[in-house]
Amino acid sequence: DQQVKQNSPSLSVQEGRISILNCDYTNSMFDYFLWYKKYPAEGPTFLISISSIKDKNEDGRFTVFLNKSAKHLSLHIVPSQPGDSAVYFCAASATAGNTGKLIFGQGTTLQVKP
Amino acid sequence: GAVVSQHPSRVICKSGTSVKIECRSLDFQATTMFWYRQFPKQSLMLMATSNEGSKATYEQGVEKDKFLINHASLTLSTLTVTSAHPEDSSFYICSASPGWGETQYFGPGTRLLVL
């Protein structure tokens, strides 16, 4: 049962353009969402998060949008840079359960072409 | 801030031996640490939740007697893969969280190869 899904395994964009990575979830108890960036053979690096009380959170070139009714979130990177090329994972947590567990999506490989 | 280290970064061992992986939060205290496993081109799979001073909580399908977890202090958790077999070869990653419901910060991972 895949509670967090990233249906696009890969995405290729041109440098300077916008990258949009999508994530869907099924568990309505999830109320905290995060995006991580990961390079091969390294641990994930935290990028940005959003609580379910918000529908948008912005940090520099990264913006995360949350649509609770659709159980969908997206990460926008603009402008995209070649250094953004990596695997991006979305993750979700149900903070009410106080376990702190994160459920990860399968990841989307982003390639930004110069 | 929020730096998590893992040691070793890479280990090769013979089948049947045990391997210990350390996870440390360097600049914060972590009540909870998590251990993940990642197979090539797959997502991170949570293995267990490690709580300081208490027993770890294992995910379904993870053998607690094979993957021993000790959370001895607020900055250190260890994962011991006992009697390792080639199928245990994987990338093991830990994370630490300053508190409940807060962001998890990940270590750099440990590549285990069992021959």
Q: Exposure of A35 by Cβ count < 10 A (0-12 exposed, 13-18 middle, 19+ buried)?
A: buried
Chain centre to alpha carbon of residue B40:
17
User: Among all chains, which residue has been given the structure tokens 């990233």?
Assistant: A6
What are B71-85's pLDDT values in tens digits?
888 999 999 999 999
Q: How many residues does chain B have?
A: 115
By Cβ distance, the residue of A93, A99, A106 closest to B49 is A99
User: Among all chains, which residue has been given the structure tokens 């959370």?
Assistant: B71
Residues of chain B with C-beta less than 8 angstroms from the C-beta of A95: 100-101
What are A22-78's pLDDT values in tens digits?
999 999 999 999 999 999 888 899 999 999 999 999 999 999 999 999 999 999 999
pLDDT at B52: 81
pLDDT at B31: 81
Q: How far apart are CA A92 and CA A21, in angstroms?
A: 15
Q: How distant, in Å, are the alpha carbons of A27, A95, B32 from that of B99?
A: 22, 11, 7
Q: Of B109, B82, B84, B114, whose CA–CA distance to B8 is shortest?
A: B109
Q: Of B75, B65, B15, B102, whose CA–CA distance to B94 is shortest?
A: B75
pLDDT, mean of residues B78-102: 90
pLDDT at A21: 98
Whether residue B68 is predicted with pLDDT greater than 80 in this model: the reply is yes
Task: Read off φ and ψ for residue B4, nearest 5 degrees.
Answer: -125, 130
Residues of chain A with C-beta less than 8 angstroms from the C-beta of B42: 106
Q: How many residues does chain A have?
A: 114
Whether residue A80 is predicted with pLDDT greater than 80 in this model: the reply is yes
pLDDT at A96: 65
Mean pLDDT of chain A: 93
What are B3-48's pLDDT values in tens digits?
899 999 999 999 999 999 999 999 999 888 999 999 877 888 999 9
pLDDT, mean of residues A1-29: 94
- Strands (DSSP E) along chain A, which ranges? 4-5, 10-14, 19-25, 32-38, 45-51, 56-59, 62-67, 72-77, 86-93, 103-104, 108-113
Whether residue A100 is predicted with pLDDT greater than 80 in this model: the reply is no
Whether residue B100 is predicted with pLDDT greater than 80 in this model: the reply is no
Residues of chain B with C-beta less than 8 angstroms from the C-beta of A1: none
Q: How far is B17 from chain A (nearest CA, A)?
A: 23
